Structure 1
Amino acid sequence: MTPRGWVPAVLFTGYAALLIIGGIQSTYGGVEQPKAAIIATVLDTKLFIFVLGLCAVMNRLDRPVDMFRTLFLAMIGIGIINLPFVVLDLVRGVDLHGDVLLHKSSLPLPRGLFHHHTELAWLYCIAAFGAYTLFQIKNNVRLLALTAVFAVAVLLTVSIKEIVGLGIGLILISGKAKRGGHLGTALIGLSIAAAATVVLFTTGFGAAILNHASMFVGGHAIPNVRAGMTEASWLIANQHFPLGSGGGTFGSAPSYQGGYSEVYYAYGINTLYGGSREYSGYLQDVFWPKIVGEGGWIGFVLYAGFLLLFVQRLVTKPARSSQGDPLQRFSLAIVVLVFVVSTASAPFTNELLIFFMALALGYGSRARHLATQRATPRRP
């Protein structure tokens, strides 16, 4: 496993060890230890396994573009199949299961074939990235039209972080496909920013976005689980240095599914809507606070370091040609999307996002692996 084989493994193993040791030594009740810590660690290990597996696959492929093309076409196909169900949701106001759609302001949030509108947004972000990357490769205008359709589907979910991730990702994929690409990328970014400003302040869709955002920031912000857990995670990391509160105690599935962690009482999360023992549906709407709270500051550094090692390889990947590498730009778009989503959700509990994140990091690992091979002189 690259980069430098053992380094990412040591970082992730250190993080996992902190979760289990912290769980064993935790003074908080409400969950069964070390069972909760072990389950939380195993769930977090999914990302490590996916990255390990995709790195191995990428370093054995002669033509990764064929694999990427197949995945792009699959996501485009799923996106097209799902579109009629999105329209049906909007027309009926209920999903396929007969459940009334959630609303932001007056706007209904379609789910299509998924259980939640954010999952729908994740699908269409990836489908849009795939269609736009194929457009960069094939220059087929139908792929550009599909990109626009999928982008509209993301907008219909009125999910701010996914819309932001989509916009940044499409700008990244635009890249340097032509001479003067830096100027073109800047113009695309400015155009998107100008259009977004007009939409935000002149349309009902924009009003819904601003109204939702005002719940979390600004003078009209209300107490909510995301903000409460973010603040609590800093306090936990400081007050329980160096171990944190331990695995399975804060923001992870076993912290509320296998009982109800007393950490939530200690830091007032139980008083927030969606964070109580009776209704705990929002306790996994955060990601980095879970890492900081359960693993402490050291655990956060180890986990972030594990990811950043691979991201650094992807960012500094040698270009395949003077026009750049569309697969690299797609991979960077995926990484940005996942990091943006992680600010207010838990992307590494979703297998779709885990897979594509691991694919992106694996592609960066492949680039470094092949560059090292080329730089190593062959023995006679």
Structure 2
Amino acid sequence: MKSLRLSRYWVFQFGGWGLFALINVFFTWLFQRFEPNSLQRILFFIEVGIVFSHFMREVIHRSSLLLKDLRQQILTLILLTIVFSFFITCVVSPFEQLYELRTNAEGQPVSYLSLFITNFISFIPLLLMWNAIYFMYHFIIKTHKLEVDTVKLEALVRELELNTIKAHINPHFIFNSLNGIRALIDENPERARTAITQLSSILRSSLSTEKAETVSLEQELKIVKDYLALESMRFEDRLKIAFDVDERTLNNPVPPMMLQTLVENAIKHGVSKQMKGGIIKIVSDIKQNQHELVVQNTGHLNGYQKSSGFGIASTKDRLNLLYGEKASFEIKQLDNGLVEAKVLMPLR
């Protein structure tokens, strides 16, 4: 990579000074002042420019000027322009004077002082332009690199945050399921054994999607149905389940374990609080070109939507990290004694 940058620098270096030489040749010829020594003077001018501008670049690199404050960079570049313009003039002027490469209208050599002042004034805008181009090139490269690094950092942070949330989802789910199974051990050991088998199946399915940011709704529904079958053993006739799933949404991507977490939340804070139990209804539909995912449950909010419950907090965080403002989540109380948790996500 270093050699690639070096070669690119020399291409620009020779190309820029070469273009400057061609422009000088053109205008010298255009005004019919092209003398035998004109080409020699221009070539020497360009050679000295290449050498001294390269030395100026070395000074910029060794002083780490491009890493300093912007105001300090600008002031230092102006100072370097003046200093190196003076150095170049001290080299070019005696050479032109010695070989009489520059003459006045009468064909007589110009005075050394006049030659020195003219060269010095000529080199300042030239080197200033060289520094400006060099500065702008590195400024654009640095800005682009900073943008790329920022995007990479944001992606890394998002991945870490998602992994942190995922790391909490399975343990949270396992503890709630084990508590349910524990209630069955004394009441119905056979059902408890069946529940443990179903829990193993759920964990196997969830682990297969652990590393994915999204899974198909169909995969997520399989885990939810296994979980609801597990909970049905505990609640028996107290738990009623209903699905209203549009088949067009089965292949839509959803965050893994998100729907299961909402269903688990609905049972824990809704159905389980009701003496007669209640209903869990899952709806998946397409509304206004968005994927609408709804979980309804019997119960009352009682201010739970304002709490820091894991199910709600993890759902909001994951939607925000994956979709930003393109997704939304709300939980509200319906008039018919149902609590509704609604997720809106962009279609793939």
Higher relative contact order (CA 8 A, sep 6+): 1
Largest Rg, 1 or 2? 2
The TM tier, using the shorter chain, reads under 0.3
**Greater strand percent: which structure?**
2
